[in-house]
Structure 1
């Protein structure tokens, strides 16, 4: 394909993807599955209009999109999030991960596709999409609810798990020969991760000087070059480039220039993340997705069940009622960017050919189904209340009003660059200031409505960054919406 033809194909593909995403956004669909769908429809594996004949034309741009996605994830992550949440937040995140990752691992072995495939599926089924989760919270007006900090706190725990999981998975996917070789590669990966962690803890002053550039153009070149260079070093050492990019973001997050960098990287991340999702779709044959429709349906059902159980257990941990349990379960069910990152890692690892189309179908279904379920969480809450009414009253639920009030979760607040969307009102006020019916819907006791504010408005404290993007915009990667 000639140079001009390549540019025409890329431009036409992006415009078509943007058009499709814009149509989908009008009915409340996230952009991640729509960019994927555009790649599938316009790619070489689908009959009809083919704008891109060779997916390799997008390979380098797609790799850069992955680097920027993980760089921004690290940039939005703060250890203070966990310190404020304490053991209770770690327990909540651990419950969610244990159920979903464990179910994914068991499901992978049940499929019989192989041990390496099962390890990949454990992460695919276990980690939610913070981009879609944050977008749901904004669009549904749940920003000021007490459970929002708990939900964002779970995504913070997922961030930590993701970094460690990628480091552990890389030796498995690299084709290491024998346990000794695998142990050597794992030691090298975790050693590199520890070096970067030490740099994140003690090297912020040095990096602060490096990033102390007044000119925005030079600042962009500096942080972008640093992220790409360290990602390249990661690849040389046999560590997935995403880990290096994530750790650079973590280091830069502690510098005075972090707010400026966060603002400057948004358009870059969104553009290249869109390329990443589009390029992933180009490699998918729709016929392959149809061939794994059964496993996809089973995985979706399993994820819904595990999220329901996790929502009930986490809500019980915080002494919340079934309404908030339903909100937690449905909000966290979406899967997106992190599943696709794992799929991209697995593509070059000579794994089962069914794995990539399975992940594509699974993400397409849950990325679309998640927002729909979140909007109808009250229906799930109604079912849970009817079931609860038939059970013996043990007096242990927050709805009974007999337990000490634990207050709101002390976990992460809202992203510092978050706005509230269309009405421009982020700080809607605590649940105690709402109508009694709304407070009742959240499972709050009368004492909660008598004047105790269950949460400090995010605008009044340093809100730890969440995995995602500023509100009022739509996500394409970690989303334009930490984990907008």
Structure 2
């Protein structure tokens, strides 16, 4: 009971002080992150004029949970697709920043007479900008929608991935007092392998699971499920040797592509705010006035090194990746701090007993100082850009602009080859990772299980099952080409034909290697080679069509799941009739018809679409009447063509969204064929008053001759017309039974 009492007392003290201080900072229009750090200093053991927390271990545990939830939330907003979009700029900038700061940090450590290992660890600590602090600063300064923000997030994510590799390298240096390149390659390969497997499995399974369970997912169950998935991935990542933060980010990025991403972000938000506050408070608790005074010179020097070095290398890295001078400087000034990974690396060095204890409080103090200055550095970016632009020679500015344009305006032939090679290498890495994962699962789990159950036949059964599981991906590795339109653009010349042929041969040999390797590990090497060659011929000649069909089905499911969130917005995955779709979009506060009645919005006249539902909080209005008003935050369901939906999406969509629990009785989009004896024949849609009486909407009429008409109230129905209807399923059934058919309902 005493432990529980101390935990409650500590939390009460932390949250009360943090609440008061952050309210003060809000009034002063300062970022609340700084308020949390000040609150942590006030309740920490180094400030004697205030009540102090009792049990620091519990607070540190909660702070670690704060990092996990913060990075999970970041993953929800920054999917792997976004990382790929800014990939080259992010990787180049991260490489420049990490390499530059490692060298500068090491040099500063040696200048301050730190030991060899202290200086190496110091360089690693100073090379990592703080993801959580930048996220919070961008949110407080309302900069997350700026053009440079996505680039900054991309760099931070790449830096986090680098930090995982760096920790492996530092551990090796600390233990062996040397560095081996083979260990670096092994750690990078291991990271890439697990990221691919987690991503492929997650995208293949989770969207389907969430779709099946959607009607049971209210806010409470969605929070429990999403946090369970997050912590499950954290456990898995930790088990295979990676950081908990990386596991949380990976799960967030997987869920970012699902239809539930916005709702998950909403329900996780309060949890993120609570644990995030405790994390920043825990950072402030580590501030020591004695350490600040004793190591004032190193702290000031290293703070200056961090701010100047991160700004300089961040700007240079962005310029090198082809960004404009303004975006480069805005990005560079955002990196001007160190954060959570500096503490993690410092803790690693102390646990290995390879760095001096004084280094930890120095790094904490540098982190606090640079965190305090981060918002001001970000605000300083635009004035600094103006100052630099006015003073740089015209020739330099012109050269920077030319270089930036040259990175985006690549020669067509070179661009085609670049895209073809990127697809080629990506396919090899992706399919190889899946095949290796299947082999590892078979050797470590499935085969031992089969040998225990069937000692005589277990080896043969496991080999057959494993090869069957591998076959779709072996076929894809061997046969599936890169985009054929790229091949056509490359032409048929000999200069292109030779490398294309070589690429195919390499893939076939690689697939053959995987077959022979697996069979050799199961049986003897000679048996593996003979069986491998035989199976290779069988797969290539006899079974390719069946395997191709199976692979295409797997790929279709994966791509649909990967693009689920985007497809929901554009409606392309809900196509139910040629060029017509059901799509959902969120109404922006600046939407021109927000607050107006549906009949006054002229959506059908101006955009050619039909509004079939309005989601307002937890209330759903299906087939809204003309008097119904559209308000900001509503999610409207509309039916129209690709072009119509895309045109309307630009007007309607905004940052505001309604993510409350949806009504489970959703609108469906279906069709009914008018039979010969239907009472509907000869009548018009306006005379039937279907919208008001039956709460359904006639979206289109398809004639027997193949022509398609949008209802205008004057078209008379004929036998064999295909009527496209939108409405709740029960209402459509009732309408069909009572007004369209004399027989029981028959619709698809």
TM over 0.5: yes
The 5 A counterparts of 1:139-218 are 148-170=146-168, 172-173=170-171, 177-178=175-176, 191=190, 194-211=193-210, 212-213=213-214, 214-218=217-221
TM superposition shift of 1:50: 2.5
Which residue of 1 is the match for residue 234 of structure 2?
231
Name the counterpart of 1:64.
Answer: 65
Q: Distance in 2 between matches of 1:179 and 1:100?
A: 21
The 5 Å alignment of 1:11-410 reads 11-85=12-86, 87-88=88-89, 90-114=91-115, 117-134=118-135, 148-170=146-168, 172-173=170-171, 177-178=175-176, 191=190, 194-211=193-210, 212-213=213-214, 214-306=217-309, 307-308=311-312, 310-311=314-315, 314-315=318-319, 318=322, 320-321=324-325, 326-343=329-346, 348-350=351-353, 351-381=355-385, 383-385=387-389, 387-389=391-393, 395-398=398-401
In 2, are the aligned partners of 1:62 and 1:272 still within 8 Å (CA)?
A: yes
Q: Which has the higher strand share?
A: 2
- The answer on whether the counterparts of 2:118 and 2:356 sit within 8 Å (CA) in structure 1 is yes
**Displacement, 1:319?**
6.5
CA deviation after TM superposition for structure 1 residue 369, in Å:
1.4
With 363-372 and 69-78 compared, the bigger mean Cα shift is at 69-78
User: What residue is the counterpart of 1:478 in the other structure?
Assistant: none
CA contact (8 A) 1:292 1:357 kept: no
Q: Residue 37 of structure 1 contacts residue 281 of structure 1 at CA under 8 Å; is this kept in 2?
A: yes
Change (3 A) 1:188 1:100: closer
| TM-score using structure 2 length | 0.48
Is the Cα contact below 8 Å between 2:105 and 2:123 reproduced in 1? Answer: yes
Give the TM-score taking structure 1 as reference length: 0.70
Helix, strand or coil at the partner of 2:30: coil
Moved more, 85-94 or 51-60: 85-94
Displacement after TM superposition at 1:206 (Å): 1.3
CA distance in structure 2 between the partners assigned to 1:190 and 1:370 by the alignment: 34
Does the 8 Å CA contact 2:207/2:258 hold for their aligned counterparts?
yes
Q: Is the 8 A contact 2:37 2:284 kept in 1?
A: yes
Q: Which residue of the partner structure matches residue 423 of structure 2?
A: none
Q: Whose Rg is larger?
A: 2
User: Higher RCO, 1 or 2 (CA under 8 Å, sep at least 6)?
Assistant: 1
Q: CA deviation at 1:156?
A: 0.7
Kept in 1, the 8 Å contact 2:90–2:158? The answer is no
Distance 1:235 1:181, change over 3 A: farther
Q: Is the 8 A contact 1:170 1:240 kept in 2?
A: no
Distance in 2 between the 1:11 and 1:320 partners?
Answer: 48
> Residue 289 of structure 1 contacts residue 360 of structure 1 at CA under 8 Å; is this kept in 2?
no
CA distance in 1, matches of 2:6, 2:316: 54
8 Å Cα contact 1:44/1:54 also seen in 2: no
Deviations 1:292-328 (A, max 9, x none): 322221122223332135425634764735x555434
Q: How far apart, CA to CA, are the structure 1 residues paired with 2:59 and 2:209? A: 31
Q: In structure 2, do the counterparts of structure 1 residues 346 and 189 end up closer, same or farther at CA, with 3 Å as the change threshold?
A: farther
Is the contact made by 2:44 and 2:286 (CA closer than 8 Å) also made in structure 1?
A: yes
1:339 positional shift: 3.7
Q: Is the 8 A contact 1:205 1:255 kept in 2?
A: no
Residues 314 and 357 (structure 1), Cα distance of their counterparts in 2 relative to 1, 3 Å cut: same
SS at match of 2:86: helix
2:314–2:333: 8 Å Cα contact kept in structure 1? Answer: no
Counterpart secondary structure, 2:100: helix
Aligned equivalents of 1:392 and 1:230: distance in 2? Answer: 51
- Do the aligned residues in 2 keep the contact of 1:175 with 1:349 (CA within 8 Å)? no
Shift of 1:162: 1.0
In structure 2, the CA distance between the partners of 1:87 and 1:54, relative to structure 1 (3 Å rule), is: closer
TM-aligned CA distance change 1:385 to 1:185, over 3 Å: closer
Distance 1:263 1:193, change over 3 A: farther
* Aligned pairs, number: 412
Q: Distance in 2 between matches of 1:86 and 1:6?
A: 43
Give the distance between the partners of 1:37 and 1:347, measured in 2 at CA.
26
Cα drift, residue 257 of structure 1 = 2.7
- Listed one character per residue, the Cα deviations across residues 230-279 of structure 1 (whole Å, up to 9, x for unaligned) are 32344444443333323332333343332222222221112112112222
Q: Any idea what SS the aligned residue of 2:53 has?
A: coil
Gaps of 5+ in 1: 409-415, 417-422, 427-458, 471-484
- Unaligned 5+ residue runs, structure 2? 410-565, 567-587, 592-648, 658-748
Using the alignment, how far apart are the partners of 1:180 and 1:311 within structure 2?
A: 32
